Structure 1
Amino acid sequence: MSPEIFKYLIVGAYALLVYWLSWLGMRRTRSVEGFSIGNKDMSPYIVGITLAASISSTATFVINPGFVYTHGLSAYLHYGVAGSLGILSAFLVLTRGFLRLGESSAALTIPQWIFYRYNHRGFSLFFAGINLLSITFVVLILVGCSLLMTGLFPLEQKTALVIVLVFVFSYVLMGGTYAHAYTNSLQGIMMMLVTAVLFIQGWKYFDGDVLGSLTAVGREYASAFNRDSSLYFDFFSVFVSGFVITFALMLQPHILTKVLYLRSEKDINKFIGTTVVVGSLFTLMLMIGFYARLSGVEVDAQDAVVREYLLHEFGSSLWGEYVLVFIFITLLAAGMSTLDGILVSLSAMVVNDIVQPLAGDRVNGLALSRWVLVVVGVVGVVLAWNPPPLIGLFAQKGVYGLAAASLVPVLFGVLVRRHIPLWVVVGAAAIGLLLHLALNLFGGVENPAVSATYAIFASLGFGLVGLAMSRDQRPVQAG
């Protein structure tokens, strides 16, 4: 069998398997609640793999290795070490309290959770509005997947963009959360296998001396703080911002709402353990940035580093072409595993937190959730049609702004058991969002993680002062 025929057979088999899993999900989706968070009957191990695959998406598998290729060890420490610690800390701190309040209020989304915690529809609508910033990550994933498609098939990038969109939207439209969870479990297993293979296969480029090999590229390239880098140049930009922003990113709708899939608090430890183990394995994909640099691959566009490295490594031999097909499909799956989660969360949020509060029961929530997916897809393609040069930084501007605005309202809502005055969390959310955008767009702070971290610290300071000023307020139960 020729590699070309093998390629189309494998792609076809993967597509059929995904559609079959989505059909199974559709049979179990009978309401907007089931479409949004399932029926609370999924294994915590399935939910953990689903979440790890959602976190470690196109950013980890396709885009972020390009930052490592360009900036070296400092970028690896930022994403792989500081980021991993931020993820673990967020789940240890937030999971139990978020699930408890989510169960007591039957919340389906983070804005709805905000409404039940703070009892104010306007604040919930504000959160629903700023959560639309997640569209920037949809754009990143679409661009990353289209780059991979052009490496697999002789396609123009814009054609590949439309194909990726149609495929993902079609299977998510069928089954919602169950389609997302079932397909992510399949994709997560594929991602674990490919990560291990690529990590082992490229280790030869270190020639037994990791630090020496990196130093041969450049002293700053091998430094924990790269003074030649405009993004990762000191302890704050590498470690502090990496930890803080990743902690805050766990508050994204498509991530933290996975907690609501769990049956009860008894499943939390299994869920967190699975997420951490699988997610830690996925961070090894960042090593591709080092391997590409040491192998001598010359890449004009940073976002295309992974694609060019894989073609360099596997595209020159017959057996390599067979391997390349499976790897490219898996990397596409990595992007789709996050894209479908964001789509489900965005559609559920628009219906539950914007349309139904304003229109009441006059709309069919399940049908509208699916129509919202179509609208989000059209907007995503329009933004991705002519993407900016560094799609990773573009996505970070929007998503990090959402994270900066979310941290205080969600963190205080989980940890503070007493009444929190609305002005405290509204002010903190506004400071987090606006200060991040001001510093990044107009203040000369090039790294969005740094500007968002400054904004988070200011937001947190405002929130703590507000709590101190209102400490005599009446207590309430948070669940």
Structure 2
Amino acid sequence: MLSIIPGYVIWIIIVLAIFYFALVTWIGKRGISHSKTMAGFATAKGSVSPIIVGASFAATYSSVNLFIGVPGLAYQYGTSVLWYTLGCFGVSWIALLLIAKKFWKFSQGQGGVLTLPEWLGKRYKSKVLQVLVALLILFNVYYIVGQNVGLATIFETIVGIPYVWGIVIAVVITIAYIGIGGAFAQLVSDGIQGLLMAVTSILVFVSIFWVVGGFSELSTQLAAIDPNLVSAINTTEGSPYDSRLAIAAVQFMLFAFILMPHLLNKILSLETEADLRPFTLSSGVILFLISTLMVLGGLAARAQFPNLANPDQAIPVYLFEAFHPVIAAFLIFGIISAILSSTDSLYLGVTSSIGNDVYRNVAPHVSRSPISAETLDRRAVKVSKYSLVFVGLATLYVSFNRPESLSLLIQFSYSAIICGVMAPILLGYVWKRAHRYGAIASLITGTSLYVLFTTADIISNIYLAMLASTLISFLVMIILSFVANVQTESAKRTAYHS
């Protein structure tokens, strides 16, 4: 626990945490009526204002990565990390604008789609692809672990709660209100959290002027510590921003990040096409504030506290340097909101896919008697809610071993998913002849190569590993789609002539 924190501040944070848990539990109970069906549990379509859904999108996008992990990287590697944060808004929001409308309209044309795996399954008319994508989403377990670790680090650093108990609190709070209220609880609570995160980011930005003396003075102090900290490209060993190619790969990854299942599911929560405009505007404004301002706290922390043992503590330490302890306590709660806002979406995305994409496709084939559509839907909801407990226990177990870098763990998890789904989604958008065999092969190739490249240290930079794996997956899909289409056309001609 930080020695600079007065004892009464700890009690303020504890009271806020109790109040927050009571609030989200109440929101969860409000969502009970919306989560009785699979559609209601997974999307709560039309039940939440598109402005709130947009705020929820931005909050979910940001997570502990932008509030703890990336500022921690900025503490280590300096201004080169700004390439990441600027791309979060500049590249990712543009990607959202390009993708949202068509993704939503295809879903409507299919009678309503509940998850990304189902979207891909219907686009390629392949139940196998749908199930495989649902299984791929299990990589999000590591993403959730990153969120749990971030929240436990906050509790440990600020409140003095042991790391293990912080992990337990993180898991129990989240699965409780998601299990009760489903997507409705997740969207409303995340919308509130997004607003808290935006306010926190603005205050961190303006605090630079009275803590450090402005950005010119900040650059001077960082350069005095290490000239690499003010370089656009940091060539220090271990830096993920050590070349132009690595930076280009970061932007590529940030464009692709919009394709993450727990983000695209937000679009499926919109009821009408008119909802797309306020949704994208709300998400853009809040995402800009969150993604571009918070990282500055990590830079300022390096200038003020150059010898922190754990870079991920940069933001908590800085907040208590920059603000009165009472204000800092409320801002710390903004960070806790950032963590919970992604964790709940990830839990919902994983468990919705288990119920909707795995159980609903597998159960009719293994059942001894026919299952009615209504019964199947009701059971799928139960499977999703029960699996929430098992996924929570799995993430609890994995979270007990603290990772070396919070940001890198999170980025590994979502990069593994992106490598698998990017080619099927984007080629499915622009190429009518994209084939299911190519999509399946691309999914397996992209993710397998990424895991191989990173775990075997063939490509040590995680961004370059993702870029290489994804480009190969595109090539595999294009080649196999051409082959499959040629064979299909040949078979049709043979059947016609015979």
Q: Are residues 1:163 and 2:178 paired?
A: no
Partner of 2:307: 298
The 5 Å alignment of 1:242-321 reads 242-283=250-291, 284-314=293-323, 320-321=324-325
- In structure 1, C-alpha distance between the alignment counterparts of 2:222 and 2:167, rounded to whole Å: 35
Q: Is the 2:59–2:342 Cα contact (8 Å) retained in structure 1?
A: yes
How far apart are 1:178 and its partner, in Å? 0.4
The 5 Å alignment of 1:260-409 reads 260-283=268-291, 284-314=293-323, 320-360=324-364, 361=371, 364-409=379-424
Aligned residue type for 2:300: Y
Aligned residues: 466
- In structure 2, C-alpha distance between the alignment counterparts of 1:123 and 1:279, rounded to whole Å: 32
How far apart are 1:395 and its partner, in Å? 2.6
Q: Is the 1:71–1:229 Cα contact (8 Å) retained in structure 2?
A: no
Q: Is the 2:435–2:485 Cα contact (8 Å) retained in structure 1?
A: no
Partner of 1:74: 80
- In structure 2, C-alpha distance between the alignment counterparts of 1:242 and 1:42, rounded to whole Å: 33
Of 434, 447, 451, the residue aligned with 1:420 is 434
Task: Pick which of 347-356 and 25-34 moved more.
Answer: 25-34
How far apart are 1:206 and its partner, in Å? 5.2
Q: Which has the larger radius of gyration?
A: 2
Aligned residue type for 1:250: I
Q: TM-score, normalised by structure 2?
A: 0.88
The 5 Å alignment of 1:456-475 reads 456-466=470-480
RMSD across aligned C-alpha pairs, in angstroms?
2.1
Aligned residue type for 2:48: M
- In structure 1, C-alpha distance between the alignment counterparts of 2:9 and 2:147, rounded to whole Å: 27
- In structure 1, C-alpha distance between the alignment counterparts of 2:161 and 2:457, rounded to whole Å: 40
- In structure 1, C-alpha distance between the alignment counterparts of 2:10 and 2:145, rounded to whole Å: 29
How far apart are 1:16 and its partner, in Å? 2.0
Q: Is the 1:109–1:257 Cα contact (8 Å) retained in structure 2?
A: yes
How far apart are 1:44 and its partner, in Å? 1.5
- In structure 2, C-alpha distance between the alignment counterparts of 1:322 and 1:200, rounded to whole Å: 18
The secondary structure found in structure 2 opposite 1:88 is helix
- In structure 1, C-alpha distance between the alignment counterparts of 2:101 and 2:51, rounded to whole Å: 16
How far apart are 1:398 and its partner, in Å? 2.4
Aligned CA distance change for structure 1 residues 117 and 271 (closer, same or farther; 3 Å): same
Of 70, 89, 93, the residue aligned with 1:88 is 93
- In structure 1, C-alpha distance between the alignment counterparts of 2:246 and 2:310, rounded to whole Å: 23
The secondary structure found in structure 1 opposite 2:271 is coil
Partner of 1:101: 106
Q: Are residues 1:223 and 2:223 paired?
A: no
Q: Give deviations 1:16-66, integer Å, cap 9, x for gaps.
A: 222222221223332121010013232221110010000011110111111
How far apart are 1:303 and its partner, in Å? 2.5
Q: Is the 2:222–2:302 Cα contact (8 Å) retained in structure 1?
A: no
Q: Is the 2:354–2:383 Cα contact (8 Å) retained in structure 1?
A: no
Partner of 1:453: 467
Q: TM-score, normalised by structure 1?
A: 0.92
How far apart are 1:86 and its partner, in Å? 2.7
How far apart are 1:261 and its partner, in Å? 0.7
Task: Pick which of 4-13 and 175-184 moved more.
Answer: 4-13
Q: Give deviations 1:201-252, integer Å, cap 9, x for gaps.
A: 13442545154443333222211111124321111112x1111111222111
- In structure 1, C-alpha distance between the alignment counterparts of 2:63 and 2:303, rounded to whole Å: 24
- In structure 1, C-alpha distance between the alignment counterparts of 2:329 and 2:130, rounded to whole Å: 45
Q: Is the 1:425–1:463 Cα contact (8 Å) retained in structure 2?
A: yes
Partner of 1:477: none
Q: Is the 2:437–2:481 Cα contact (8 Å) retained in structure 1?
A: no
Percent identity over paired residues? 21
How far apart are 1:3 and its partner, in Å? 4.1
- Structure 1: which 5+ residue stretches go unaligned? 315-319, 475-479
Q: Is the 1:161–1:381 Cα contact (8 Å) retained in structure 2?
A: yes
- In structure 1, C-alpha distance between the alignment counterparts of 2:255 and 2:56, rounded to whole Å: 18
- In structure 2, C-alpha distance between the alignment counterparts of 1:471 and 1:96, rounded to whole Å: 28
Q: Give deviations 1:174-223, integer Å, cap 9, x for gaps.
A: 10000001111111111111111111113442545154443333222211
Aligned CA distance change for structure 1 residues 43 and 159 (closer, same or farther; 3 Å): same
- In structure 1, C-alpha distance between the alignment counterparts of 2:312 and 2:460, rounded to whole Å: 17
How far apart are 1:313 and its partner, in Å? 4.2
Q: Is the 1:146–1:158 Cα contact (8 Å) retained in structure 2?
A: yes
- In structure 1, C-alpha distance between the alignment counterparts of 2:482 and 2:405, rounded to whole Å: 42
- In structure 1, C-alpha distance between the alignment counterparts of 2:414 and 2:50, rounded to whole Å: 27
- In structure 2, C-alpha distance between the alignment counterparts of 1:342 and 1:277, rounded to whole Å: 22
Of 181, 185, 189, the residue aligned with 1:183 is 189
Aligned CA distance change for structure 1 residues 84 and 460 (closer, same or farther; 3 Å): farther
Partner of 2:212: 205
How far apart are 1:69 and its partner, in Å? 0.7
The secondary structure found in structure 2 opposite 1:41 is coil
Aligned CA distance change for structure 1 residues 150 and 327 (closer, same or farther; 3 Å): same
Of 233, 240, 245, the residue aligned with 1:236 is 245
Q: Is the 2:433–2:481 Cα contact (8 Å) retained in structure 1?
A: no
The secondary structure found in structure 1 opposite 2:308 is coil
